[in-house]
Amino acid sequence: MSRSYSTKKVPSRAKMPTMASFTKTVWGYYNKHRRSFPWRENTSIYSVVVSEIMLQQTQAPRVIEKYNAFLTAFPDFQSLAHAPLRDVLALWKGLGYNRRALQLKKLADMVNSSAFPHDREALMELPGIGPNTAGSIMAFAFNTPQAFIETNIRTVFIHFFFNITRGKIDDKKILKLVEASLVGRNHTNPREWFYALMDYGVYLKKTFPNPSRKSKHHVKQSPFKGSNRELRATILQSIVETPRTRQEIIKHIKRKPSEIDKNLSALESEGFIIKKDRLYRIVA
């Protein structure tokens, strides 16, 4: 569980700090307020990959319970590769963005019989792994100094280095600063340095209006309730429960048939479901 946060205000930055003073501030906070998560205690490749996929677009406190249950049910790549997709999706329920579960399952299928890649470019060839997730896996699983950005890291660098900047800030500028910070202790122990950055970012969000709103890449998430994302998740979960015909799905969910048909077609083309003998069912 997260430790309590200090209520002391972080001073706003009137000018850009030196990298040395910035590093000292972040480490100083982390030494007193380090958060504890199960994926920080277990830094095996599999643990890190599962947690990083789950943490995409989902806050850490919400992930803890699902992460623990997932590793209990599927303790390694081999068990996940052999598991029915239906079981994986059933356990994933509540995390949202089910495409991540499908991608994680496909990833396990690919690496089951081969060594897991230790190269960033090779990692990016795996399902669901973009440049930032590849960088985080390199840092957390292998303790390799690879720069990457996630929401809390972005918050920290915007707060310290772009506090008085007008206009939207491109991640390319932030990434250069992340790379510049990987010196000395931060270079030899990037795993802890990135933990420290993320913990400080969470603190900043609790103390100031979210600095990430100044980012060029900041997108305010639309409400889930009533959205197509909700309908899509409801359709998929209904098929996870039991194979159903189109009419049964329409009767079960009670939404416009045209909306349901559109999502059934999308779920089928993406590899979630198949239609056989008039029944939609989860791909085996």
Residues with catalytic function? 52
- The beta strand positions in the chain, using DSSP E, are 244-245, 273-276, 279-282
H or E element in which residue 155 lies = helix 151-161
- Unique residue bearing structure tokens 């390799």: 144
CA distance 68 to 176: 35
Tokens of 264: 């059934």
| CB 145 within 8 Å of CB 190 | yes
Strand pairing of 244-245 and 273-276? unpaired
Which residues make Cβ contacts (< 8 Å) with residue 75, sequence separation at least 6? 46
CA distance 209 to 216: 16
3-state secondary structure (DSSP) of residue 177: helix
CA distance 27 to 50: 27
Please give the torsion angle defined by the CA atoms of residues 96, 56, 209 and 219, in that order, rounded to the nearest 10 degrees.
-80
3-state helix, strand, coil split of the chain in percent (to 5) is 60, 5, 35
Nearest to 63 by CA among 55, 75, 72: 55
CA distance 143 to 187: 9
CA distance 215 to 168: 5
